[in-house]
Chain A
Amino acid sequence: QKEVEQDPGPLSVPEGAIVSLNCTYSNSAFQYFMWYRQYSRKGPELLMYTYSSGNKEDGRFTAQVDKSSKYISLFIRDSQPSDSATYLCRLYSGGGADGLTFGKGTHLIIQP
């Protein structure tokens, strides 16, 4: 079983829709949960950083962590064509770079 599962997509939605991106994981040691956005041929950009369970909101983005279900989500409200990118989840248990794992990313397309 892979440590982190993330649907690669592509996920195509119309402009203005609410987007839901998800990752599931198996290792209960993960405590820190991050979402990165990566545009084509660019490095990943940190979007959201959360610790433990709960919700965190930043503008049109909401990150949700459910540690009991080992499930994390990123919601994008009022989606824009500029949101078209690959979204990667990143999970970290602490203690150094060998305690982190990336999902393979979901390719999101927002249709104008």
Chain B
Amino acid sequence: KAGVTQTPRYLIKTRGQQVTLSCSPISGHRSVSWYQQTPGQGLQFLFEYFSETQRNKGNFPGRFSGRQFSNSRSEMNVSTLELGDSALYLCASSRDSAGEQYFGPGTRLTVT
């Protein structure tokens, strides 16, 4: 069974640009959550999508948004990038709740 995949794996952007990250969950998983991981703050929850609807949202500014498609694939968008957005962005999927989640390898975003 294929695991969670994320593309791209690495990304370098400049301040002010926008970026879109993609996540394909494990087959049969309908919940997709996104996290930001930095050395100082650890893993921070961004949002969760379930059956194309945003079910939960963390404490991040509106520059961070996402969506989920009918095949459960999800995208995350960050607009007007700031230096502080440099981080590892992780996607996790689960069957029907945010309990037993499986993570992808992450997208490492560097903002210069």
Contact = CB atoms under 8 A, between A and B. Distances in A.
B45 A44 contact: no
Interface residues of B, number: 25
- Most A CB atoms within 10 A — which of B4, B98, B104? B98
Interface stretch (A54-62, A70-78, A100-108): A100-108
Interface residues of A, number: 23
Interface in A89-112: 92, 94-100, 102-105
Contact of B48 (A36, A41, A94, A96): A96
B104 A104 contact: no
Nearest to B57: A98
A111 B112 CA distance: 37
Contacts of A42: 105-106
A45 B4 CA distance: 11
Given A43-B90, A96-B55, A102 B98 contact: no
A88 interface: yes
Given A44-B90, A92-B98, A103-B42, A97 B56 contact: yes
B24 interface: no
Q: Dominant SS at the B interface?
A: strand
B58 interface: yes
Q: Dominant SS at the A interface?
A: mixed
Given A96-B48, A96-B55, A105-B42, 8 more contacts: A41-B88, A42-B106, A43-B104, A45-B103, A95-B97, A97-B31, A97-B47, A98-B58
Interface of B: 4, 31, 33, 42-43, 45, 47-48, 55-58, 88, 90, 97-106, 108
Q: What 10 pairs between A and B have smallest CB-CB spacing?
A: A97-B48, A97-B98, A104-B42, A43-B103, A98-B56, A102-B43, A97-B56, A96-B56, A43-B105, A44-B103
